[in-house]
Chains A and B, each alone.
Chain A
Amino acid sequence: MAKKDKYGYKESLPRFFKADIELQKKVGTGSLDNGTIGKAQAYLDSIQTDITPQLREYLMQMETALAHAREINYGREEFLPQVTKPLMDIKSISGMFHEMMVCRVSSFVLTFVEDVRKFDADVTEILSAYIKVVKTLLDLAIKDETNPHGQSFINEIRAAIKRYYDKQAAAKRG
């Protein structure tokens, strides 16, 4: 077995390689051309692909995971990947395809889910509420993140998450 120093490192030292500048030689250095970036952004802004079927598919995956979770009382380790993956996909794709309200709500629910230490009924309820909200946003074709109806849905989810953290904090205090 390799000998280790007092910090636990193996005695064989790491090897270092200087940065490769071949790519720099090939492409050059300088500045980004605003006109070119503008054209690429105009393309992104002009995308009209309807991705709602894909978003609904991801929602279904989340629903299935939640249903299983309720049935067999999942632990965090088994449950989280099955929920975070479709949730992350919803956040990513909705944002790229102009479903900005869906993206916004998905973004903070994803942050919440990645932060929860223990999966329980409260988390399930929040995720169920999230699924309902996104379905409603898609049904009503609410895309703009400043839409007042959409805002009220988001506020409800936000309030539910706050209640969850308040409850956790209260439980900690005993």
Chain B
Amino acid sequence: MPYDFTKLSALVVEDSPAMLEVMINSLKYLGVGQVFQAKNGETGFQQFVKQKPDLVITDWEMEPVDGLELVKWIRLDQMSPRRNVPIIMMSGYAAGPRVALARDRGITEFLVKPFTANELARRIAYVIDYPRDFVETFEFFGPDRRRRKSQDYQGPERRNDE
């Protein structure tokens, strides 16, 4: 049975007006019930606090507040109404270190632009099907970054349930 995206609300944060329109329409065609929008990280956070969407899809490079800063606010700010919301970061960057940097700030999934409707839909489906455990340390709150367990790990086991 297909997902019922009509019950889903999403916030799209994107500074390019043309790209913002494409994103909003794409989500509507995919059946997403409510789509909110913002033009940068600052207004994005305001919308996030106000609308409390189920999902955030944000661009990376924006001014005056970029996507990485928005992720930090959503994950760490006391005003944040839902610190564990799934965040999909979309960007033209595809190099490994960039993706790792975004992951280390607390994103849930990464979507490289340009993308197809199928790729967008799959990222949304993935955050629904595979909700992530969250980790909080002194300076990080975000999805558990250890998706794979290394068999030859030699370091300390710092988790109670390991």
Contact = CB atoms under 8 A, between A and B. Distances in A.
Nearest to B143: A19
A92 B8 CA distance: 26
A85 interface: yes
A33 to B, nearest CB: 4
Interface string B1-14: 11111011000000
Contact of A16 (B7, B54, B98, B133): B133
A27 B155 contact: no
A29 interface: yes
A44 B61 CA distance: 22
A114 B19 contact: no
A47 B20 CA distance: 13
A93 B128 contact: no
Q: How many residues of B sit at the interface, in one of the four size bands?
A: 35 or more
Interface string B114-140: 111110111001011101111111100
Pick the most buried of A19, A38, A54: most chain B CB atoms within 10 A of its CB: A19
B116 to A, nearest CB: 6
A15 B113 CA distance: 34
Contacts of B2: 30-33, 36
Given A17-B84, A32-B2, A43 B122 contact: no
A9 B92 CA distance: 34
A28 interface: yes
Contacts of A96: 19, 22, 113-115
B46 interface: no
Contacts of A115: 95
B131 A16 contact: no
B75 to A, nearest CB: 12
Nearest to B63: A85
Contacts of B144: 16
Contacts of B54: 23, 26-27
Interface string A60-100: 00000000000000000000000011001101111111000
A130 to B, nearest CB: 15
Interface string A1-32: 00001010110111111111101101111111
A111 B95 contact: yes
Interface of B: 1-5, 7-8, 16, 18-19, 22, 25-26, 29-31, 54-55, 61, 84, 86, 91-95, 98, 113-118, 120-122, 125, 127-129, 131-138, 144, 155-156, 158-161
Identify the 8 closest CB pairs spanning chains A and B, nearest first. A95-B114, A92-B92, A40-B117, A92-B113, A40-B29, A19-B131, A88-B92, A41-B117
25 contacts: A7-B155, A13-B158, A13-B159, A15-B137, A16-B159, A17-B136, A24-B131, A31-B3, A32-B121, A37-B117, A40-B26, A43-B25, A44-B22, A47-B22, A51-B18, A54-B16, A89-B16, A92-B92, A92-B114, A93-B16, A94-B114, A96-B114, A96-B115, A111-B94, A114-B95
